[in-house]
Amino acid sequence: MNKTLKRLCAALLLAVPLTMSGCGGSDQAADSKKIVRVGGTVAVTSSMDPAKEWLGWYTVRYGVGETLFRLDDSMKPQPWLAEKAENVEPTVWRITLKDNVTFSNGEKMTADKVIASLKRTAETNDRAAWLKDAEYTAEGNVLTIRTKAPYATLVNDLCDPYAVIVDVAGTKDFENAPICTGPFVMSSFEADKHAVMTKNPKYWGGDVKVDEVEYTKIADFNTLAMALQGDEIDVALDLSPETAETIAANDKFTVVKTPQTRTYQLYMNLDKLTDPAVRQAIMYGVDKKTIGDQYLKGAMTASNSAFLASTPYGDPALKARSYDPEKAKQVLAAAGYTDTNGDGIVEKNGQPLTVEMGVYKRLFNENITTEMQAQLKKIGINVNIVSHEKSNYYKAGEYEIGLYSVITMPTGDPYAFLRDVLSAKGVANFGHYTNPVVEQALADLPNTFDPAKRIELANRIQQQVIDDAAMDFIGFNNMQVGISKKVTGFLSTPSDYYHVTKDLDKK
């Protein structure tokens, strides 16, 4: 066993199972196979059941599950297991399925099996409530879905990995080995540690090039980079800025940088941070570009919008409160905040301006929060950072401002995100925001099928939120993936759903 591997196994005794290839045992069997090994800090989840919560992402990433439609790099839906979709009436969609699709057990994918899969998802996943209310009919390879109300984003939502098509009748173990249509099938699964997939010899899409794919959770950035450099893995997901620089300097690897639809969202608790002047000053006082380009070394792309500029909804014409520290100071002064004792922190009514900022460990949340603390101090705001294990402190309201890492266009459309975080009844409206203009626009979006009108409504909502200084967006996470030059065909996409396809290969 080489020194690199010894260090890796010792460091990951708790995080990586001993079944990881090479950690105590012979590699002779593995050497006879073409295996691609992938590691990452969140590379393995708790279950392989795609209908649960957000776990379908992993089923799709591993090349096990496929959906009727998938998102391209512009976040637009494209046919996958389906040939096409037709909106017959505002509440009626006719979906023609591809005729040659089979599950990994050899069973043909039929409209009836698709209906059974979607109904199971509806019963399992709260985000798929619209599926639960729908009516389904099957005629040959044509599936008709009649929704309870007009549903403009139906095709988008069928791109969501919760809608992975599973052979419900043929699956005995949804938690560990769902029977799906992808180029790979589950071989073994150890929750939150390790997943092994083998090629599907019955794959409907053609020959699969590699024999096996392994995903291993490696919780530490430095250990992840070390595993890649030591040839213990072939692909390292979500590299840190520092390790990405190191890997990029090594001619054995390629670092692929992909802007994701995952933003660093700045919640403001309007029940506690009631002074709009303070919220406005915070927005003026954060230098997002410096955070992304210098502090995070390119691991974040600064933004004032909730949506990527490469999508129709990332409107550059939004009148945002961009970085302007002098303006921030003026806003505070006009509201009665002055530094009377010369300590650099402004006061009002004898009380220094201190804001409590919550943070939890996710990607670069902690790094960004620390830099924001330093930047806001320069305009006279003292930021007290409170660390939490998980993000559940938002629901409890135990913060004044807080950074949240979230996908804003999980299906290529902004409606679900805007509804959840800004509607008065939104499940993620942790800032307790409400505005009648926003409520009306949110009510109109589900019934608006015209793309140009959807863009206008989404941007009207964003502008109102900016005007109210109710929420801000710091920037988008740039996924940095280190890939051995022995590997070809590994995908890195804005949605981060798609990694493994039949074309993944290794020299």
Q: Residue 132 CA to chain centroid, in angstroms?
A: 24
Residue 26, pLDDT score: 39
Q: Read off the tokens for 478.
A: 């740039």
Non-local (6+) Cβ contacts of 118 within 8 A are 131, 134, 136, 163
Distance CA 24, CA 375 (A): 49
CB 208 within 8 A of CB 127: no
Burial of 100 (0-12, 13-18, 19+ CB in 10 A): exposed
Non-local (6+) Cβ contacts of 132 within 8 A are 119, 122, 123
Q: What is the DSSP letter of 322?
A: -
**Residue type at position 160:** D
Residue 31, pLDDT score: 62
DSSP per-residue letters across 9-67: HHHTTTTS-TTSTTSSS--HHHHTS-EEEEEETT---S---TTSTTTHHHHHHTTS---
Residuewise pLDDT in 10s, the chain (507 residues): 444 444 444 444 334 433 344 444 434 455 689 999 999 999 999 999 999 999 999 999 999 999 999 999 889 999 999 999 999 999 999 999 999 999 999 999 999 999 999 999 999 999 898 899 899 999 999 999 999 999 899 999 999 999 999 999 999 999 999 999 999 999 999 999 999 999 999 999 999 999 999 999 998 999 999 999 999 999 999 899 999 999 999 999 999 999 999 999 999 999 999 999 999 999 999 999 999 999 999 999 999 999 998 888 887 789 999 999 999 999 999 999 999 999 999 999 999 999 999 999 988 899 999 999 999 999 999 999 999 999 999 999 999 999 999 999 999 999 999 999 999 999 999 999 999 999 999 999 988 999 999 999 999 999 999 999 999 999 999 999 999 999 999 999 999 999 999 999 999
For 259-479, give the CATH class. Answer: alpha beta
Give the side-chain half-sphere CA count within 13 A for 314: 20
For 35-252+485-506, give the CATH class. Answer: alpha beta
Residue 84, pLDDT score: 98
Coil vs helix vs strand at 202:
coil
| CA distances in angstroms from 401 to 13, 193, 251, 305, 358, listed in the order given | 37, 33, 42, 18, 6
Largest Cα–Cα separation, the chain:
79
Non-local (6+) Cβ contacts of 450 within 8 A are none
Q: Within 10 A of 112 (CB to CB), how many other CB atoms are there? A: 12
Q: Residue 185 CA to chain centroid, in angstroms?
A: 24
Residue 242, pLDDT score: 92
CB 186 within 8 A of CB 174: no
Distance CA 127, CA 129 (A): 6
Q: What residue ranges of the chain are covered by domains with CATH 3.10.105.10?
A: 259-479
Q: How far apart are the first and last CA of the chain?
A: 23
Q: From the DSSP assignment, how many helices (H) and strands (E) are in the chain?
A: 16, 21
Q: What sign results for the dihedral spanned by CA atoms 455, 129, 391, 441?
A: positive
Nearest one of 153, 166, 88, 96 to 127, comparing CA atoms: 153
Q: What residue ranges of the chain are covered by domains with CATH 3.40.190.10?
A: 35-252+485-506
Q: What is the DSSP letter of 108?
A: B
